Structure 1
Amino acid sequence: MRTLYLHIGFHKTGSSSLQLAMKEQTQALNKAGFEFLSLGKKGNSSGCIEVLREKGRVRFKLNSRLDELLAASRGKQTIVSAEHLCFLHQRESIELVQQVCAKYFDNVKVIVYLRRQDLQAISFKKQGARGAASNRSSSSKLLGHSEGAFPTLNKDIEIYYDYFSKLKLWETVFGTDSLQVRLFSREALHGGDIVSDFLALLDGDMEISARRVNEGVGRKEFLLTHKLLELGVAESELIKLKPMMLEDDSQLLPSRSDARQFFMRFKQSNHLLNNTFLNNDSGLAFDTDFSGYPEQGNDWITVRDLSGWTPEILSAGIQRPEGLRDALLADKLQQMVRKKFSGEVLTQELEDLANCLSASAYVAKDQQPWYRALKKKKTSGR
């Protein structure tokens, strides 16, 4: 009897750390009776899912690579990790995955880790700021590049974060006993990390060292990358600006009210999730403590930010740097008009605007020929 342990994500729940740890310690897994297969060099098999953006919508398609990967398997207990599988939300798509798995395995254990929607969204959108082009990464295709820590909600994003509906389909297709739903939080994970927790779910006795993968994105890179991509700045220009963004490692945080509001958009789904797959005292599947967020967020670009960034933008070697600076300022002024800031905030923004412009202000002085200095200047007109 052959068993497949199929890890399907979600994104930003330590998947990269888990995959890399298993890839690097494949021999230890083999000794314990487990075979680890992957499509990527770092242990990721998400290449079996194609993420396509067409006509303003995102769709997901299973290709032939999962079948090819499983066909090469020889172990009685095999592990595959592909967080892009969590994108699938239509029954026929999930049934295709089940049919491929059933060709080679008698038993399939589907393992999924869930993270509270607001925490996951911030982290996932940070991933979209690591690149320099839009519609290339899965984060960019799904979440876009609008300003703020959270994506602008649309149908595709609402489907993605409706954990219950999606997992109910996986359970229906693979069977009630096949799906194992885990909460991604340090307190809930066995041993405090995903590697230890995942190994505890396997029918074996082994130890593998946890592998931390640093995918941090500072506030400056997050805000400026998303804004420049939203404005349509060319990839070649953005690449030149990236070094000046990476110098900042300050943390980006939305306001407490914005985080709570985003989470509560999925209240009904989380209530069903709690009753079916998770059991939290909050009744909403997750801890509802939002005290880790500040009252006032810092997830939007201020004129003071632009004032500090202007000298770096002007010296980055991009084409017409003054034009980019002015485009950012024009965008900011439009926001100020739309948001109708209070008097105190507006005054501060206008003062910073003056400072920003003065940093690159230049007035050409009238140049006199050298011989004019030898002649006595007139002190009055006619």
Structure 2
Amino acid sequence: MNSELAWLKQSSNTVVISSEHFHSRLKSVEEVKALADLLSPYASKVSVVVYLRRQDKVAVSLFSTRCKETNSSLQILPEASSNVDSYYDYYALLERWSEVFGEEALVIRRFEGPRRGANALLLDFCDAAGLPSDVRYQYPEMFNRGLPGQAQYGLVWFNRIFSVQSGYHIWLKRQLSEYLVACFDGPQLLPARSDAESFLRRYNAGNRRVAERFLSNEQLFSTDFSGYPFSSEPRFNVDEVKQKVLEFCVSKQKNLCVPPLSRDGMLLLAYRVYYDSAPTIKRLIDSVFAR
């Protein structure tokens, strides 16, 4: 990184370094200062652009991400803990960065979800970072799209069946995610409205401190929870989702000479889907493993 920054210093006036891990991994003033020490030989001025999103909405988004990983629980909003509360404590976040770079270096933006117009968020970032507006930027394709609730449910259910996952399971789950997105279309899983309101209340005091110190008492987030349902129960046929997961796994097995998923694991998957017709599914799976 030092060599790249040294090269950029000779050819560029402005360098943008972006990482979501600046928020989650730099948990102390000392760690933020280590970053400042790394940058100091190459930058005469540092601006810290931070986007803050209402905590309940961040948790909902993280749930979708973790469904693609190893999450095996349908609980969307995390329980209170020191790690969780530290992650959502925006006042502590801004305080440690302002202590190192100075309060005047902070450029605070609110992230309220998709904005009107293509690339509106990136254009807002260019403005916040002081990048020229008269340049034709090349905007990247959006890859990290949200999952419909059926896909989230199917991935969680897959993770419950195959709790110990090899590299093949990870590859298979990525394919399963794409398959379920192609099969289903609909809203993501959401917590009940009362749960979302209760979750945000845990961070209201810190949010007020952010508004008072950094935003001249301007309200940090809206208090609109109308986008949440009254119940967190899935509003789709879960058996249909389970059937799609099973059909996908069996179809992948047929194309492999040595099936990486164990026979017992596939049988367990079948029994979870079809309680009454499991013998029929057993014969289907046996035919695959008889090759």
Give TM class, smaller chain: 0.7 to 0.9
1:324 maps to 2:269 = yes
1:113·1:183 contact (CA, 8 Å) conserved in 2? yes
1:146·1:226 contact (CA, 8 Å) conserved in 2? yes
Structure 1, unmatched stretches of 5+, are 1-64, 135-143, 330-355, 365-382
Q: How many residues align?
A: 259
Q: For residue 128 of structure 1, what is the aligned residue in structure 2?
A: 66
Which structure has more RCO (C-alpha within 8 Å, separation ≥ 6)? Answer: 2
Compared with structure 1, are the counterparts of its residues 120 and 95 closer, same or farther at alpha carbon in structure 2 (3 Å cutoff)? same
Identity %: 23
1:237 Cα deviation after fit: 4.0
Superposed counterparts of 1:30-41, under 5 Å? none
Aligned match for 1:264, one of 177, 194, 201: 201
Q: For residue 252 of structure 1, what is the aligned residue in structure 2?
A: 188
Distance 2:189 2:148 in 1: 10
1:206 maps to 2:134 = yes
Distance 2:115 2:249 in 1: 48
Distance 1:100 1:363 in 2: 59
Distance 1:298 1:363 in 2: 28
1:154 Cα deviation after fit: 2.9
Q: For residue 158 of structure 2, what is the aligned residue in structure 1?
A: 228
Compared with structure 1, are the counterparts of its residues 190 and 184 closer, same or farther at alpha carbon in structure 2 (3 Å cutoff)? farther
Compared with structure 1, are the counterparts of its residues 105 and 240 closer, same or farther at alpha carbon in structure 2 (3 Å cutoff)? closer
1:190 Cα deviation after fit: 11
Distance 1:145 1:167 in 2: 33
Q: For residue 85 of structure 2, what is the aligned residue in structure 1?
A: 158
Q: For residue 17 of structure 1, what is the aligned residue in structure 2?
A: none
CA shift digits 1:67-108 (9 cap, x unpaired): 444233222222222221112120100010111111211111
TM normalised by structure 2 equals 0.74
1:288 maps to 2:223 = yes
TM normalised by structure 1 equals 0.58
Structure (1/2) with the larger strand percentage: 1
Compared with structure 1, are the counterparts of its residues 148 and 363 closer, same or farther at alpha carbon in structure 2 (3 Å cutoff)? closer
Compared with structure 1, are the counterparts of its residues 172 and 310 closer, same or farther at alpha carbon in structure 2 (3 Å cutoff)? closer
CA shift digits 1:83-135 (9 cap, x unpaired): 2111212010001011111121111111111111111222223223334xx4x
Q: For residue 76 of structure 1, what is the aligned residue in structure 2?
A: 13
Q: For residue 258 of structure 2, what is the aligned residue in structure 1?
A: none
Structure (1/2) with the larger helix percentage: 2
SS in 1 for 2:211: helix
Letter in 2 for 1:98: A
SS in 2 for 1:113: strand
Letter in 2 for 1:123: S
Distance 1:187 1:358 in 2: 44
Superposed counterparts of 1:98-177, under 5 Å? 98-131=36-69, 134=70, 145-177=72-104
1:195·1:209 contact (CA, 8 Å) conserved in 2? no
Q: For residue 289 of structure 2, what is the aligned residue in structure 1?
A: none
Compared with structure 1, are the counterparts of its residues 363 and 200 closer, same or farther at alpha carbon in structure 2 (3 Å cutoff)? closer
Query: RMSD across aligned C-alpha pairs, in angstroms?
Result: 3.4
Distance 1:72 1:173 in 2: 25
Distance 2:141 2:4 in 1: 26
Letter in 1 for 2:247: E
Structure 2, unmatched stretches of 5+, are 254-260, 283-291
Compared with structure 1, are the counterparts of its residues 214 and 251 closer, same or farther at alpha carbon in structure 2 (3 Å cutoff)? farther
1:215 maps to 2:144 = yes
Aligned match for 1:357, one of 272, 275, 279: 275
Distance 1:324 1:169 in 2: 48
Distance 1:206 1:188 in 2: 21
Distance 1:215 1:361 in 2: 39
1:220·1:248 contact (CA, 8 Å) conserved in 2? yes
1:147·1:227 contact (CA, 8 Å) conserved in 2? no
Superposed counterparts of 1:336-355, under 5 Å? none
1:307 Cα deviation after fit: 5.7
Compared with structure 1, are the counterparts of its residues 191 and 249 closer, same or farther at alpha carbon in structure 2 (3 Å cutoff)? closer
Distance 1:245 1:187 in 2: 23
Letter in 2 for 1:250: G
Q: For residue 55 of structure 1, what is the aligned residue in structure 2?
A: none
